[in-house]
Amino acid sequence: MKKLALVATVGMALSGCGGSGDGGGSSPQPAAKPSSAIGTVESVNEAKSTITVNGYTYHVSEVMYGSTETNLGAVQPNMMVQVGSGTEKSAEDPVVVTLEPTMTGTVTAIDHINKTFTVNGVELHFEGLSDEIDQGDWVMVSSLPTADAGYKVLSVVKFDFNYTGPDEIEGRISSIDINNSTFKLGANVTVSYNRVDGLNVGEWVEAEGSMQGDVFVATDVEVENYDSLVGDNDVEGIVTWVANDYSQFSLNYRGNFVVDNATRFEDGTKTDLKQGQEVEVTSVMKNGVRTATEVEIDGPDFGGDHDSNWQGKEFECEGVVSNYNVNTETFQVSRCENDADQVMSNNTVVIDAQTRFEGLEKHNLNGTKVEVEGVIINNQNVAREVEAEGHDD
């Protein structure tokens, strides 16, 4: 996708973190460094042309935003980046750093007292919001998803220049209106796009375009997932669903990772996989599915300062399916409970792009006795697994 041309002398102000540094005081790094990583920047050392991401330090050959080269001075701590491509011959080879913000755009409203600001029609909260960022500034925002498919802001970077190109916004597609050629990201963002028939509810996408009134008019939309990961890779993110038997989990609403007997865990065990838990995942393709080879449990501590908004956001259903609707991709199950063992009054289940079926097909749902596992997003019960009762994998 075509992105903003950045100049090497761009001026910027960062909120929420300090300036470039060498990350002194960090613990010794593991010997097995992945050749590529997706995560937040921990530190930058311009003098040595190095960057530290997910606990690993890389030598940088160039920095890119889309197809345009910029400089290492444009990279700041807590920005989301991709390091390397996974095709490097050695983990010690110099790597390309690609800036991967969640959204870019002009700040249209800001409240420094309450630490809120608005970009692309989305009101965001960030305790580290800098007083140097004002209404009218063009910013890059890096974030992780929240329990309601919103945005947990990690950093806000201001770029001081006149920008006339397209802006960007990422998010989970929560609904699609084919008649009006629009779709919604999360709960509030309406995106107009003339090719919505090629998209699916549940996909995490990056839309490029601009705000026109209260609608983001997209000129290009790209599905973001982990299908393209190659080589030895390391991905940072937040767990957005976990199977009851810990056999798989979803990361950042973008895709699933299978856990098998060979999966190694650092700083925890597979029982520490919970919604809202931050992790780093190394994976490979095995038997046609993306399988985690190593999972590192990061902060926050689930029993301490874990984000309580993730509590009660998983559900299970058991019973006979009725009222499957091919148009809305919904069905009902006779009994549903949330992860607090409370019987739910809402027993309508939504199928999305990441729903998996075991032992049955969608068109045979009605009248079938099933077990359903899923997540609750904005009061919708979104299925992750639908299994025919008695089905043996």
115-130 in b/e form (b: 16+ CB < 10 A) is eebbbbbbebebeebb
Q: Which residue has the higher pLDDT, 8 or 159?
A: 159
In whole angstroms, give the CA distance from residue 367 to residue 389: 12
| Share above pLDDT 90 across residues of the chain, in percent, rounded to a whole number | 70
pLDDT at residue 15 is higher than 50: no
| Mean pLDDT, residues 170-198 | 95
pLDDT above 50 (res 12): no
Predicted local confidence at residue 392, as pLDDT: 62
Q: Which pLDDT does position 357 carry in this prediction?
A: 96
Token pair of 328, please? 């809305």
pLDDT at 122: 95
pLDDT at 175 over 60: yes
- Quote the pTM value: 0.87
Question: CA separation (Å) from 1 to 84, 202, 203, 223?
Answer: 18, 22, 18, 12
The mean per-residue pLDDT over the stretch 55-71 comes to 87
Query: For residue 179, what pLDDT band results from cuts at 50, 70 and 90?
Result: very high
Q: What are phi and psi of 45, to 5 degrees?
A: -125, 100
Question: CB under 8 Å to 65, separation ≥6 — which residues?
Answer: 3, 4, 6, 74, 98, 99
Judge whether residue 8 has pLDDT over 80.
no
Q: How confident is the model at residue 313 (pLDDT cuts 50, 70, 90)?
A: very high
Percent of the chain at pLDDT above 70?
Answer: 87
Per-residue pLDDT for 10 more than 60? no
pLDDT surpasses 50 at 11: no
What is the predicted pLDDT for the residue at 69? 81
Residue given tokens 């798989």 in the structure block: 248
| pLDDT(97) > 80 | yes
Q: What's the average model confidence in pLDDT over 353-373?
A: 94
Between 377 and 306, name the one with better pLDDT.
Answer: 377
Q: What is the pLDDT of residues 114-162, one digit of tens each?
A: 999 999 999 999 999 999 999 999 999 999 999 988 899 999 999 875 5
Q: Tell me the mean pLDDT in the region 212-222.
A: 96
* pLDDT, mean of residues 316-333: 96
Question: What's the average model confidence in pLDDT over 274-292?
Answer: 93
Q: Which bin fits 54, alpha (ψ -120 to 50), beta or left (φ > 0)?
A: left
Residue 31's pLDDT is what?
45
What average pLDDT score do residues 357-378 get?
Answer: 94
Cα separation of 366 and 363, whole Å? 8
Could you tell me the domains of the chain? 1-165 (no CATH), 167-223 (2.40.50.1010), 233-309 (2.40.50.320), 312-388 (2.40.50.320)
Of 186 and 370, which is predicted with more confidence? Answer: 370
- pLDDT above 60: residue 370: yes
Tokens of 253: 């609403």
| Band of pLDDT at residue 7, cut at 50, 70 and 90 | very low
The amino acid at 250: S
Mean pLDDT of 208-220: 96
Confidence of residue 232 (pLDDT cuts 50, 70, 90): confident
Q: Tell me what pLDDT residue 393 has.
A: 53
- In this model, does residue 101 exceed pLDDT 90? yes
Query: In this predicted model, which residue has the larger pLDDT, 124 or 70?
Result: 124
Above 70 in pLDDT, residue 350? yes
Q: With a cut of 80, say whether residue 303 has pLDDT above it.
A: no
